[in-house]
Amino acid sequence: MSTSSRTVAGEQLGRYTLLYKLATGGMAELFLAKTSGIQGFEKIVVLKRILPHLRDNDTFISMFLDEARVAANLEHPNIVNVYDIGKAGDDYFFTMAYLHGEDLTGVLRRAAEVGRGIPMEISLHIVLGVCAGLHYAHEQVGLDGQPLDIVHRDVSTTNVMITFDGGVKLLDFGIAKAATQSKMTQVGVRKGKASYMSPEQCRAEPLDRRSDVFAIGILLWELTTMRGLFRGDNELVVMNMIANRDATPPSAVLPGYPPPLEAIVLKALARDREHRYPTARALAEDLEAFVRQYGMGTSARTLAGLMKDLFGPRPLPWAPGGLLAQAGVTLLPTPEPTSVGTGQSRDPSEPGVPETSVGSVAPSQAMPPPPRSRAPLFAALGALGIAAAAAVAFVVTNRGGDGEAEGDASSPAAAETKAPPAAGADAGAEAVATPARPCPEGMVELPASSLFVGSDSRDPALALAVPSHKAEVGAFCLDAHEVTVAQFRACSDEGECKRAYRDSHWAQSEGRAEAEAFSSLCNDTREGVDDHPVNCVTWAQADAYCRWKGARLPTELEWERAARGGDGRVYPWGDDAPAPERLNACGSECLAWFRRSKVGLDASMFPASDGFVETSAVGSFADGRSPDGIDDLAGNVAEWTADAFAPYPGAPDDGLAAPAGAKVARGASFHSAQALQAEPAFRRALPGDYHPHDVGFRCAADPKAP
């Protein structure tokens, strides 16, 4: 939809002037609107109007008005405010607060786009806000003092709004009250997104608040693992999965997941609701206890900072340079936002809305005591740093099996209260005032840090890495993936890089049979490997490619910082030993290849197969991803760095000598047979003119100032 087709300035609906169409869905359409009063009073709201062809459908009208009635009685910092319900001619409508922000799906998508992670403490803060809003709704009573028994039934990432001032708002009670009306099932009317339903919801059983608790459990599972929990080819598959299978423990997909947090998640996701948390508050109490015991508290200010980092400054629609100005809509006078920074338009008579908070709760008796030291937990949490690369997969699959269209106004999702698309934007595009990214596309920014590098091991595999010593590294950007065959070919096709070699040249490749065996692994000779890392390139070829991209090779120190993470982990993924699901190294498949090829290696890093005899497509091992969202820092190919080899200060003089002019390659490869080679400290000193089959590279860059 073009900007002009969205502009509806001047159309009146009762006392509201429609300004701009935000979205159209299966039941309703959304507008940015303005209401005026005496003495020049004006207020910007979001107006939701039932679609014209449904005006005479009593069932849809009843559902529509149910949503408005339920939401209008809910006034809580974590729930969007509904102001007014009305009818103008044949049009039914209601109005609600305009919130300046993005839905959680949009936040996750943006984090993936900019290569930014979402810290676990912020994810927990968001879930706690959802708990607070839902518990308030669940506790509501009518004028007769009887419980209203509100069940939201559609708690999902599209119905959680994050405002730019760090607020967490629950949206869309469109099916909450309708849950009590059995005649509401109509073709095209969904009662909740399949992948966020509870088992009893999937079985069409009577619901209570524990159904929403299950949905919170899904949100908690997904936000702390950055994976989709219940996904399938269609709704029936997803619903059958939810109704008949226990939830996968988070630690099964993310080794190192904190056991106390896993216990909370799995209790929320109990298939039998009798074993679930009885209320959203009970779940929040255990989460708060976990947060408090392990020092993971955060605030709306921190969340606001994340939103600013992700989206940059975004003008309010009615501000100079905002969307209405771009669309040619003039407001005279321009209304002042009543809540600076949030863009939320409040009635002047309403009390101020406090910062998002779930209050202070006492620790649950079920919570285990805090550890004597928090170091092991934080080491584990480092492995859980919500990686942007993982966020990509999560956002892509987040609607799988639901068949949900973006901007569906029958389930308002982001469109209900988010900022409208920018002028000239595509119909599906979101309004993003994108700041200049500090890193080039495809790179991840790593902050300046202090760390210990090298090793004190006496194992010969780490002889070039001793001793361990402290070092300081400045902020830098690093490719999330190794440079691929297709990317390198683009450089050679332009005449800026020499083509990758088709033979493997390194010191150990002695004899014709051995040389032919290793050369067969050069990816330039193979078909269908465009997304595999380029290999069989010299240091100079790697350096030339990075310069062609306006970047450079990473220093040794930068590479080791990326592989160690910010917590000094043993391996890029954490402290657990190398395993076939974590890296492409030498497993049983590699050992079999060596034996068939009659070349020297007769050992493997692990006894099982990792599924790849040669290289694998970059990013194939999500379980081996670093907490910063960087893939293949151990395994696939070793990587050239910018540095010439030099012994570390204090290294023993044991007669080991590197070749003259040697460059340093870092990391394990698909032919690495020792676990020590997967450690971040592992160094190889190779002549720069070598082009081995198991060495490739990735590029680095200096961050741009904001």
What CA–CA distance (Å, rounded) separates 69 from 579? 55
Length reported for the chain: 706
Peptide bond into 354 cis (omega under 30): no
Residues 562 and 448 in one domain: yes
Tens of pLDDT, residues 643-694: 999 888 888 876 556 667 799 999 999 989 889 999 999 999 999 999 999 9
- Which of 57-61, 66-70, 391-395, 397-401 has the highest mean predicted lDDT (pLDDT)? 57-61
What CA–CA distance (Å, rounded) separates 235 from 558? 45
Closest-CA residue to 672 (of 367, 360, 461): 461
What CA–CA distance (Å, rounded) separates 684 from 658? 9
Q: Across all residues in the chain, what is the average pLDDT?
A: 77
Residues 383 and 524 in one domain: no
Number of domains comprising the chain: 2
What CA–CA distance (Å, rounded) separates 246 from 271? 6
- Backbone φ and ψ for 621, nearest 5 degrees, come out as -115, 80
- Which of 17-21, 43-47, 107-111, 281-285 has the highest mean predicted lDDT (pLDDT)? 281-285
Q: For 134-189, give the secondary structure using H, E and C.
A: HHHHHCCECCCCCECCCCCCCCCHHHEEEECCCCEEECCCCCCHHHHCHHHCCCCC
3-state secondary structure of 268: helix
Confidence of residue 8 (pLDDT cuts 50, 70, 90): low
Tens of pLDDT, residues 344-369: 333 322 322 222 222 222 223 233 34
Mean pLDDT within 50-64: 81
What CA–CA distance (Å, rounded) separates 39 from 48? 26
CA 674 to chain centre: 33
Instruction: Classify burial at 399, counting beta carbons within 10 Å of its beta carbon; exposed 0-12, middle 13-18, buried 19 or more.
Output: buried
Share of the chain above pLDDT 90, in %: 34
Q: Does residue 284 form part of some domain?
A: yes
The domain boundary, picked from 415, 431, 465, lies at 415
Confidence of residue 500 (pLDDT cuts 50, 70, 90): very high
Amino acid at 243: A
Q: Does residue 434 form part of some domain?
A: no
Tens of pLDDT, residues 606-628: 888 888 889 999 988 988 988 88
Least confident of 118-122, 134-138, 282-286, 598-602: 598-602
Query: Per the structure block, which two tokens stand in for 532?
Result: 């595999």
Q: Does residue 317 form part of some domain?
A: no
Q: Residue 9 has what pLDDT?
A: 58
Residues 234 and 360 in one domain: yes
What CA–CA distance (Å, rounded) separates 593 from 635? 17
Confidence of residue 289 (pLDDT cuts 50, 70, 90): very high
What CA–CA distance (Å, rounded) separates 635 from 633? 6
Contact 38, 118 (CB under 8 A): no
Residues 380 and 506 in one domain: no
Residues 283 and 369 in one domain: yes
Confidence of residue 55 (pLDDT cuts 50, 70, 90): confident
Query: Per the structure block, which two tokens stand in for 263?
Result: 């216990």
Q: Residue 654 has what pLDDT?
A: 60
Mean pLDDT within 133-139: 93
Q: Residue 358 has what pLDDT?
A: 28
Q: What are the b/e assignments for 2-30, b being 16+ CB within 10 Å?
A: ebeebbbbeeebbebbbbbbbbbbebbbb
Q: Going by C-beta distance under 8 Å and a sequence separation of 6 or more, which residues neighbour residue 26? A: 51, 188, 189, 408, 409, 410
Q: Residue 450 has what pLDDT?
A: 87
Q: What number of other Cβ atoms are within 10 A of residue 352's Cβ?
A: 7
Residues 274 and 385 in one domain: yes
Residues 109 and 211 in one domain: yes
Q: Does residue 18 form part of some domain?
A: no
Q: Does residue 361 form part of some domain?
A: yes
Distances 398 to 65, 171, 406, 522 between C-alpha atoms, Å = 29, 18, 12, 37
The domain boundary, picked from 378, 400, 415, lies at 415
Contact 296, 103 (CB under 8 A): no
Q: Does residue 200 form part of some domain?
A: yes
Mean pLDDT within 364-378: 38
Q: Residue 658 has what pLDDT?
A: 65
Residues 594 and 516 in one domain: yes
Tens of pLDDT, residues 557-586: 999 999 998 777 889 998 889 999 999 998
Residues 515 and 403 in one domain: no
Is this prediction's pTM over 0.75? Answer: no
Q: For 424-488, give the secondary structure using H, E and C.
A: CCCCCCCCCCCCCCCCCCCEEEECCEEEEECCCCCCHHHHHHCCCEEEEECCEEEECCCCEHHHH
Residues 569 and 687 in one domain: yes
Q: Pseudo-torsion of CA 669, 387, 448, 302, nearest 10°?
A: -170
Residues 199 and 271 in one domain: yes
Q: Residue 514 has what pLDDT?
A: 74
Least confident of 124-128, 157-161, 386-390: 386-390
Q: Does residue 32 form part of some domain?
A: no
Q: Residue 237 has what pLDDT?
A: 83
Confidence of residue 189 (pLDDT cuts 50, 70, 90): very low
Confidence of residue 275 (pLDDT cuts 50, 70, 90): very high
Share of the chain above pLDDT 70, in %: 75
Decide if pLDDT at 477 tops 90.
yes
Contact 252, 269 (CB under 8 A): no
Decide if pLDDT at 117 tops 90.
no
Contact 101, 418 (CB under 8 A): yes
Closest-CA residue to 290 (of 269, 264, 270): 264
Active-site annotation, residues: 154
Residues 550 and 696 in one domain: yes
Confidence of residue 212 (pLDDT cuts 50, 70, 90): very high
Mean pLDDT within 515-524: 87
Q: Residue 383 has what pLDDT?
A: 38
Helices (H), 194-275: 199-202, 209-225, 235-244, 250-253, 259-268
CATH of the domain at 228: 1.10.510.10
Q: Does residue 230 form part of some domain?
A: yes
CATH of the domain at 599: 3.90.1580.10
Q: Going by C-beta distance under 8 Å and a sequence separation of 6 or more, which residues neighbour residue 483? A: 533, 534, 542, 545, 696, 697, 698, 699
What CA–CA distance (Å, rounded) separates 155 from 170? 8
CA angle 173, 176, 177 (to 5 degrees): 115
Query: Per the structure block, which two tokens stand in for 654?
Result: 């044991």
Confidence of residue 327 (pLDDT cuts 50, 70, 90): very low
* Residue 636 structural domain: 443-701
